Structures are given as C-alpha cells and as structure tokens.
Amino acid sequence: MFSFKNLLSALSLVALVHALPAKPIQRRTGFGSMCSTTQFNLSNSVPADFNFTQPNTTFPTFVALSVGTQNYTCGDDGTWSPIGAITELYDISCIPQEEHANFTTMIADMWENSPNTWTSEDIVLSTEAANGPTALGMHYWISDPNNATSGKIFAKWDFGMSRMMEVTDMNTAFVVCSETDVVPDPINPVLNSAWLYEPVLYVDGQKDGQLADQVYRFNSNGGSAPNTTCRANFDFLQVKSTLNFWFYGGAWVNTTSSS
Ligand SMILES: *[C@@H]1O[C@H](CO)[C@@H](O)[C@H](O)[C@H]1NC(C)=O
Ligand SMILES: *[C@@H]1O[C@H](CO)[C@@H](O)[C@H](O)[C@H]1NC(C)=O
Ligand SMILES: *[C@@H]1O[C@H](CO)[C@@H](O)[C@H](O)[C@H]1NC(C)=O
Ligand SMILES: *[C@@H]1O[C@H](CO)[C@@H](O)[C@H](O)[C@H]1NC(C)=O
Ligand SMILES: *[C@@H]1O[C@H](CO)[C@@H](O)[C@H](O)[C@H]1NC(C)=O
Ligand SMILES: *[C@@H]1O[C@H](CO)[C@@H](O)[C@H](O)[C@H]1NC(C)=O
Ligand SMILES: *[C@@H]1O[C@H](CO)[C@@H](O)[C@H](O)[C@H]1NC(C)=O
Ligand SMILES: *[C@@H]1O[C@H](CO)[C@@H](O)[C@H](O)[C@H]1NC(C)=O
C-alpha cells in the first residue's frame, strides 16, 4: 500500500525527472509552461484513427497531469450518471512525451491506493507546499453558461488558483470547453474515461476564457463508473481519475514557444 507521502514524492519527481538529464528546467516567466513544449506532438499519443479534430497550432501551450475524482449520481434509469469532477493539474512539460503514459499510470496506481480520507483538495494544498511550480491549477465542472436551465455541465480549467495567481487579466487564466469528439479509452473502456477533444465554448459570441482554444483528454486511468445498477436519485459515487490534458492555443501560446 502506497502512502500519500509517496504520492507527493512521485509528484515531486515531475520536477526532478528532468533535472537529471542534460537539459535543465527552465523556469518560465509570464506564467507559461515550466519547460519548452515545442517537442510535444499529439499524433504520437493519440491514434490517428481516433479522427480527433486536429490542433490549430503545431505544439501545445501546456501539458498537464490531472489527478482527482469524478462524481456520479444515480439517474432515473438506475444507472450511474456523471455530475462533474474535481481534479488538480500538474505541469509535466519537463517529462519527455514517451514517458507520459507510464508516468500517468504510476501516479494513478498511487492515487488509487492512497487512503480514502484523502481528497483531491488535500492534494493541491499539500503539493503546492511540496512542489510549488508544478501545480497548474484545478479542473472542475460548471453549469451551462449559455442556459441556466439546460441541466448541462461544462468542463472548466482554472489556473488562477495556482500557476497564474498573479496575472493581471484573470480571463487568461481559465477556459470553459464543450466536448465534440469522444472516443472510448483504447485500453479499458469500462474502467477508464473516454478520450476527448474539447474546443473552447462561446458565450455571447466570446470565448469563455483565454487559457486555451483546444483541449485534449487522453491517457485515462480510472474515472468511469462501474457498470452496475444503483438506486435512482439516491446513490452517490466518487471514482478516482488520473489522466492527461493538453492545451493548445490561448493567450500563453507564445510564452512557451521560445527556447
Ligand atoms: C475514424 O474514421 C474511420 C474512417 O471513417 C472509421 O473507420 C473509424 O471507425 C473512425 N474511428 C473512430 C474511433 O470513430
Ligand atoms: C507529429 O507527428 C506526426 C506523426 O509522427 C507527423 O506526421 C507530424 O508532422 C508531426 N507534427 C509536427 C508538428 O511535427
Ligand atoms: C464531488 O463530491 C465531493 C464529495 O461529496 C464534493 O465535495 C464535490 O463538491 C463534488 N463535486 C462535484 C463537481 O460534484
Ligand atoms: C511503459 O510501460 C510498458 C509496460 O510496462 C513498457 O512495455 C514500456 O516499455 C514502457 N514505455 C516506456 C517509454 O518506458
Ligand atoms: C434552455 O434549456 C431548456 C431545457 O433544455 C430549454 O427548454 C430551453 O429552450 C433552452 N433555452 C435556450 C435559450 O436555448
Ligand atoms: C481552428 O482553426 C479553424 C480554421 O481556422 C477554425 O475554424 C476553428 O474555429 C479553430 N478552432 C478553435 C477551437 O479555435
Ligand atoms: C453493462 O452490463 C450490461 C448487463 O450486464 C451489459 O449488457 C452491457 O453490455 C455492459 N456494458 C458495458 C459497457 O460493459
Ligand atoms: C503568437 O505569435 C504569432 C507570431 O508572432 C502571432 O501571429 C500570434 O497572434 C500570437 N498569438 C497570440 C495568442 O498572441
């Protein structure tokens, strides 16, 4: 059984892994990625036959590890229905892309085995002390910004709580997206969340946040509800989830492109 301390140590590795090879970590000014993201290529992580809408820029602005929980309630039909998630986001730009899938699985194994008393909120509080700059921010869901009564929820990524606490324009620190391309996880579609392409949501003709224009979700570990029946409108479930998000475009696209 891994302790939570081990999880923290593993997350500290995010910073350490790249300190060993020749290339030192470059602390970015302007709130961008910790290391250059120019070498990252989505085609090497997401199979071409997923037919995902391609990114509009050649490399991502941020690459993140997401650790947290997905919440479910029991729907009228007696099956689990997603009602959002809270996850903490960490900068993994200093880890080579070919290591990302295995690194994410390693963190997932530790998170799965950490005590039930630990919440994702505990992670961010602890890791910010332990890891400082690797904490990017939080991922959670909000109600439909375009229609308060639609009952829909939308994914939001908010770096204003960690990485971009001091930006002058907080609109550049978050983004809200919809989901347009959804493909079942290629390894275990029952246990692992689907892979997603998520373009920025427009509200009153404006982008809802300038953190990014396009977000991709992949390398999923956990997150899906079990395929079991439940008691309608009564049962509640939290499922641990560990995966990657890549962010393309947005206000910081040129902050990370140099070097
Ligand atoms: C991608 O498109 C091809 C050709 O239309 C199709 O055969 C394949 O099933 C699609 N892949 C997915 C994951 O939908
Ligand atoms: C990304 O990788 C694919 C396949 O390996 C390649 O065709 C493409 O040119 C690469 N894109 C960039 C921007 O280097
Ligand atoms: C998920 O469940 C936890 C525990 O009840 C709660 O604190 C959190 O607000 C929930 N989040 C969402 C998005 O439902
Ligand atoms: C990732 O883990 C798998 C399974 O243990 C292993 O076969 C593969 O070589 C690893 N990939 C890298 C890049 O280390
Ligand atoms: C908002 O959602 C409700 C419920 O789905 C729907 O009846 C209504 O037409 C929607 N309003 C707009 C402006 O789309
Ligand atoms: C990507 O670029 C295309 C072509 O310019 C544009 O239509 C689309 O809106 C862009 N997508 C996003 C999410 O910005
Ligand atoms: C869920 O379980 C039902 C009943 O056992 C089965 O028919 C269905 O195919 C399962 N779905 C998945 C995604 O495994
Ligand atoms: C990034 O730089 C390019 C080239 O100078 C420019 O065309 C683009 O508008 C810049 N993007 C942003 C979001 O500032």
The closest of 34, 10, 9, 37 to 253, measured between CA atoms, is 37
Per-run averaged pLDDT (10 residues), the chain, 259 residues: 50 49 50 89 97 97 94 92 90 92 90 79 59 80 95 95 90 97 96 97 98 98 92 91 97 68
Q: How far is the CA of 254 from the centre of ligand 8 (A)?
A: 6
* Among the bound ligands, the one closest to the CA of 138: 3
State the DSSP string of the chain.
---HHHHHHHHHHHHHHTTSSSSPP-PPSTT--SS--TT--GGGTS-GGG-PPPPSSSS-SEEEEEEEEEEEEE-TTSBEEEEEEEEEEEE-TTS-HHHHHHHHHHHHHHHHTS-TT--HHHHHHHHHHHHGGGEEEEEEEEE-TT-TTS--EEEEEE-TTTTTTT-S-GGGGEEEE---EEE--SS-TTTBPPEEEEEBPEETTEES-SS-SEEEEEEEEEBSPPS-B--TTT-EEEEEEEEEEEEESSTTTTTSS--
pLDDT, residue 125, reads 62
pLDDT, residue 202, reads 98
pLDDT, residue 18, reads 43
The closest of 175, 225, 204 to 64, measured between CA atoms, is 175
pLDDT, residue 21, reads 43
Q: How far is the CA of 183 from the centre of ligand 2 (A)?
A: 21
Q: How far is the CA of 40 from the centre of ligand 4 (A)?
A: 18
What are the angstrom distances between the C-alpha of 195 and each of 65, 180, 222, 243, 250? 14, 11, 12, 10, 21
Which atom of ligand 4 is closest in space to residue 99's alpha carbon? 13
Closest residue by Cα to atom 9, ligand 3, is 86
pLDDT, residue 8, reads 55
Closest residue by Cα to atom 11, ligand 2, is 41
Q: How far is the CA of 41 from the centre of ligand 2 (A)?
A: 6
pLDDT, residue 17, reads 47
pLDDT, residue 116, reads 79
Helix 97-112 to helix 4-17 angle (10° resolution) is: 170
The closest of 164, 162, 234, 224 to 196, measured between CA atoms, is 224
**The pairing of beta strand 236-248 with beta strand 80-91:** unpaired
Closest residue by Cα to atom 13, ligand 7, is 190
The reported pTM is 0.88
Pocket of ligand 5, beta carbon within 6 A: 147, 149-150
pLDDT, residue 34, reads 85
